[in-house]
Amino acid sequence: MNKKNPFEGEDLMDEGGLDLRRYWQAILSRKWMILGLTATITVVAMLVVAGMPSRYQATATLMFELDQGNLVSVEELYDTGTQRREYILTQTEMLQSRDLAERVIRKLDLLNNEEFDPSLREVSSGIWGWLPFVGKNQSVDSVERSRIEQVTSAFLKRLSVAPKRSTHLVDISFTARSPELAADIANAVGAEYIASQSEARAQFTNRASSWLNERLDTLRVKLEQSEAELLAFREQEDLVDISGVLSLAEQDLNEATTQLQEMRRELRQVGSIHEQVEALEGNELALANLPDVLNNPMIQEIKRNEAQASRNVAEVSRRYGPKHPIMIAANNELTMVRDQLRSEVRNLADAIDSRYQTAQARVRAQEQEVARAKENYQQVSRKAVRHGELQQQAEINRQLFNTFLTRVNETREASGFDMAPARLADPAVAPNEPSEPNKRVIVSAVLALALMLSVGLAFVLDFLRVGVRNPEDVEVYLHQRLMGLLPDVQKVSGQRLDLRAFFDPDQYTFAESVRTLRTGIVLSQFGGKEGKDSKGQVLAVTSSVPGEGKTTVAENLAFALGQVEKVLLVDADLRKPVVGIDFGVDREQPGLTDMIEGTAAIDDCIHRDENGGIDIIPAGRLCDDPQKLLVSPRFDEMIKVLARSYDRVIIDTPPVQAVSDALIIARSASSVLFVVKHDDVNKRVVIKGLSRLEQTGAPVAGVVLNHVDTSKNAAYAEEYYGYDYGRQPGGKSEARRAPSVELEQVVESSEEKT
């Protein structure tokens, strides 16, 4: 393979040359054909144009009145539901409707106008009228309807309606043989449109008024019912001002809750003191030191007296003995004061207990009051909710009733204001000059076109063959190695190439071509830098576009290689799989897609073709996104696994220019075989396909020129391969593989060299 990148900085014309002299020579060599063809076409055009009748086009301008006096908007009253632009476009289409056309036809009596009643119909009816079995079952109505349809179709073909941009104006144009008739029809279309729209709006207004009145009566009944239910509820619950009652209930609940909170706070305070008193019960002196007891004025007074008595005992004891009357009196006084303190402490403890019991009773009573207030508030709230529902329903019914009442009044007022939806801003007048045909322009255009056509035909005849025609084209234009030529068996034998044509003795030329291709591939493998590693055993077969025979090449090449190697043929054209169908593999059998997705084992996806001596993997079930499977790492891994099990893995890929699947598959192949259909696909298309492969780094091994017509290209076909070598006069071959080298010898020789 040529390692030079042939697609950078080169043009196809660099080899063929953009030679103006070649074009000029093509014109000179066919000048009489050009002149004769041009003159013939021009004369025929002049005769045709001379017999063409003149037609006149008259145009009337219609203006849409979108503002309907602002009494009731068009959108609200007539419910157009469109913006101005969409409204104008809609009305433009209505101007070209069959219904409007029939109105104009009947108004102007165009059914009896000979311009709209071709004489061919009279002749036809006269002929068919004599036949006994034709037209007998047609009723008068059906014949008349058919006649109207024909005239209407002819009428609409001559009618043209075009809105003027950024305006409310529409041009109505009509073409007829008579200028007066053209003007009358253009004006009649506008007038009938205005009349039909006015009638439609009047009918719609009447239907709307009727529906609104019926709906208004229904809403009046619903309003009366809802108001009656609201009044009955108020009387039943004795409600005057539900908001005031609810407010009072809420206020009572809040006050009761506040009082309960205050009482609970007081209970907690008294309870704390009560717990301390209970804990020190029987120890009056310790109780006397409690803060709440100590702060009592009486206790404080007794405490002062106790302190004074204690000081007095202390002073007397320094002067007198314990049995001295004064000492005894002082001790008695101290004892009396302390007894008084104990008595007062016990009284205070009893008072604290009484306060605690009273606080508990008050809290329980207040809790009952709160529960009562809460229940009252809930009852009032439920009444308020029900009252609100009834009141809201009545209000909704009242609003609906008022809305419909307003709409009824507006519609009633608008019905008396009958403003036309459009008017003729510029009526059509009879034209003085025909609009068509412009005979001079037509003849001049035909002359120019005929001349260009003649010159173009000369160029086409000279440069018609733009495909790859011979081995030189492969080397010069494609910059690729020619791996082989395959004859067009269809052209030779006149029948479709059979799948197993390689084994058909009658197709010895085709079989020998495939063997030669096989030898070239094996030689390129051993001559390349890859050697015989597993990577070198994967061969991708592709083409530029569909229909070049890449699948046929892949299948027959697999047969040829299968005679000397263990070969696996893989159908990687997941969009239009063919291999499995050709080999008769059931569509439900697992294949490549199942293997990549892991839904089937590799062995289950491989199918043996005993007649051909090869294994095949069909495409498998169809998938929505083939590229997602091909670009996955598992595809490359599967190819590597298969390459280790086979001497050769041949992959049939989609065309390069159709989809990019082949570019993805080429990354997993050691070489790519590019199939080109002989003298069919444009060289530029082939170059683009090869360029895409080169840009992705795909190793293109060479090109196979397929479908070669050996009867027309026998010289270079025999020059390259000598296809007729060994052919006997009876059409048989005494040595079908004589032109090609024995593959086993080539392999052994290459292995010794490497």
Give residue-wise pLDDT tens across range 593-648: 999 999 999 999 999 999 999 999 999 988 888 999 999 999 999 999 999 999 99
CA dist list (Å): 69 to 406, 413, 632: 18, 12, 69
Question: Under the phi-then-psi rule, with left for phi > 0, alpha for psi from -120 to 50, and beta for the rest, what region is 282?
Answer: left
Residue 225 forms part of a structural domain:
no
**Contact, 721 vs 692, CB < 8 A?**
no
Shared-domain flag, residues 577 and 705: yes
| Number of residues in the chain | 754
How big is the CA angle at 713 (ends 710 and 715), to the nearest 5 degrees?
110
Shared-domain flag, residues 448 and 480: no
pLDDT, tens digit (0-9, with 9 covering 90-100), for 184-205: 999 999 899 988 888 887 777 7
Shared-domain flag, residues 391 and 275: yes
Shared-domain flag, residues 131 and 31: no
Task: Determine the pLDDT at residue 22.
Answer: 56
Task: Determine the pLDDT at residue 672.
Answer: 95
Shared-domain flag, residues 306 and 325: yes
More confident site: 403 or 493: 403
CA quadruple 271, 276, 281, 286: dihedral sign: negative
Using CB atoms within 10 A of its CB, is residue 435 exposed (0-12), middle (13-18) or buried (19+)? middle
Q: How confident is the model at residue 711 (pLDDT cuts 50, 70, 90)?
A: low
pLDDT, tens digit (0-9, with 9 covering 90-100), for 49-74: 887 778 888 999 998 887 554 444 44
Residue 219 forms part of a structural domain:
no
Nearest to 106 by CA among 140, 69, 161, 155: 155
Does residue 568 register a pLDDT over 90?
yes
CATH number, residue 598: 3.40.50.300
Does residue 488 register a pLDDT over 90?
no
Q: Which of 415, 448, 483 is the last residue of a domain?
A: 415
Please state the φ and ψ torsions of residue 669, each to the nearest 5 degrees.
Answer: -105, 150
Shared-domain flag, residues 516 and 623: yes
**Contact, 379 vs 248, CB < 8 A?**
no
How big is the CA angle at 227 (ends 221 and 232), to the nearest 5 degrees?
125
- The count of structural domains within the chain is 4
Strand 614-617 to 607-609 pairing: antiparallel
Residue 14 forms part of a structural domain:
no
pLDDT, tens digit (0-9, with 9 covering 90-100), for 397-413: 888 878 887 887 777 66
Residue 212 forms part of a structural domain:
no
Residue 13 forms part of a structural domain:
no
More confident site: 256 or 137: 256
Domain residues for 40? 27-52+437-463
Shared-domain flag, residues 67 and 40: no
Q: Return mean pLDDT, the chain.
A: 79
Residue 210 forms part of a structural domain:
no
Contacts of 656 (CB under 8 A, 6+ apart): 542, 543, 544, 662, 663, 689, 692, 693
Strand ranges across the sheet with 648-652: 482-487, 700-708, 671-677, 538-543, 648-652, 567-571, 614-617, 607-609
- Exposure class string for 140-170: b at 16+ Cβ within 10 A, else e: eeeeeeeebeebbebbeebbbbebeeeebbb
End-to-end CA distance of the chain: 18
Shared-domain flag, residues 201 and 270: no
Amino acid at 282: G
Does residue 158 register a pLDDT over 80?
yes
Shared-domain flag, residues 79 and 158: yes
Shared-domain flag, residues 481 and 382: no
Q: How confident is the model at residue 285 (pLDDT cuts 50, 70, 90)?
A: low
**Contact, 359 vs 266, CB < 8 A?**
yes
DSSP at 591? -
Shared-domain flag, residues 631 and 720: yes
Per DSSP, the residues of 450-495 read HHHHHHHHHHHHHH---B--SHHHHHHTS---EEEEEE-HHHHHSS
Amino acid at 172: I
Task: Determine the pLDDT at residue 281.
Answer: 67
Q: How confident is the model at residue 590 (pLDDT cuts 50, 70, 90)?
A: very high
Whole-prediction pTM: 0.42
Does residue 735 register a pLDDT over 60?
no
Q: 546 preceded by cis ω (within 30°)?
A: no
CATH number, residue 409: 1.10.287
Per DSSP, the residues of 213-245 read HHHHHHHHHHHHHHHHHHHHHHHHHT-S-HHHH
Task: Determine the pLDDT at residue 13.
Answer: 44
Residue 20 forms part of a structural domain:
no
Mean pLDDT score, 719-742: 44
Per DSSP, the residues of 364-431 read HHHHHHHHHHHHHHHHHHHHHHHHHHHHHHHHHHHHHHHHHHHHHHHHHHHHT----SEEEEE-----
Shared-domain flag, residues 409 and 265: yes
Strand ranges across the sheet with 159-163: 159-163, 169-176, 56-64, 422-426
- Helix/strand/coil (H/E/C) assignment for every residue in 68-92: CCCCCCHHHHCCCCCCHHHHHHHHH
